[in-house]
Amino acid sequence: MPRKQIVILDKETLGADLDFSALTKFGDITEFKITTSDETLDRIQNAHIVITNKVLITAEMMQKAPKLELICIAATGMNNVDLDAAEKLNIPVKNVTGYSTNSVVQHTFSLLFYLMEHMHYYNDTVRSGLWSISGLFTDVSQPFHEISGKKWGIIGMGSIGQEVAKIATAFGAHVGYYSTSGENTSQPYLHQPLDVLLSTSDIISIHAPLNDKTYALINENNLPLLKKNAVLLNLGRGGIINEPDLAYALDRQEIYAALDVLEKEPIEPSNPLMKIENKERLLITPHIAWTSVEARQKLLKGVVKNIEEFLKG
């Protein structure tokens, strides 16, 4: 069997520490750190198999890549490939699911603890020498609360939301949730309307996909419902929270927010979230919740498995 020409379009987004050698058994590998939209067609034109994380592949590109047999998405989300066009052209598109659940759940709690326990303040207090000259063995100037006894509201009770719910319950939180599809209402937790969940929760975490029902789900109309000192976490998709509305709220309400996803990534310097006055109320990480070493290794294994299954027919 002739060796396949395999192109990896955005290897840098998967990490330099991953070992891609398992792919060499399928064919000859051409790797690109990143690929712009202007470069994509030229790079896939002679490929049999294309691996993409976030690079957009359009109908026109597929039509002009006559050798293309398989598109592997090194992610769960598939909105960067025109799936209708791929189906018409008989080009299978395979993604990988479930690889990042543990990583995203862990990052959810990392974000929460950083904000809830005022870690930035306390780290600065030690490093600046203020603790050393205080004469006190402790510092209780920024009080924090326990998760135990708090109400944790989850928006999107899929596999990640369910794992967050289990751990939050283990910490002693009372979990409620809102189903963004309106169909997932049989979980062993209190199902609530969105406005009730927002107005009663101390911690709110988002683990939902982005679609017509979730775009700008959190906005200027319901952000004022949040309780004083509530913590809002978005580990779903950028666009679920209206970012200008959140920036406005953070400077006018005593609330906290942590975001791992944004509507446009990387963040633009003009984003209102970059200009808020109460910077201690906001934590943004650069879309890293999915990127634990273990998660990325599972992802690569999933890509290899998808290619193996395709070649076996």
Active site residues: 237, 265, 287
Q: What is the CA radius of gyration of the chain?
A: 22
* Cβ atoms of 54 and 34 closer than 8 Å: no
Strand order in the sheet with 282-284: 190-191, 174-178, 151-155, 203-206, 231-234, 256-259, 282-284
Q: Are 191 and 178 in contact (CB under 8 A)?
A: yes
Give the pairing type, strands 4-8 and 27-31. parallel
Is 86 in contact with 93 (CB distance < 8 Å)? yes
- Under 8 Å CB-to-CB from 116, ≥6 apart: which residues? 144, 145, 147, 203, 231, 256
Can you say whether the dihedral through the CA atoms of 78, 198, 118, 216 is positive or negative? Answer: positive
Q: Do the beta carbons of residue 101 and residue 160 sit within 8 Å?
A: yes
Cα distance between residue 66 and residue 207, in whole Å:
38
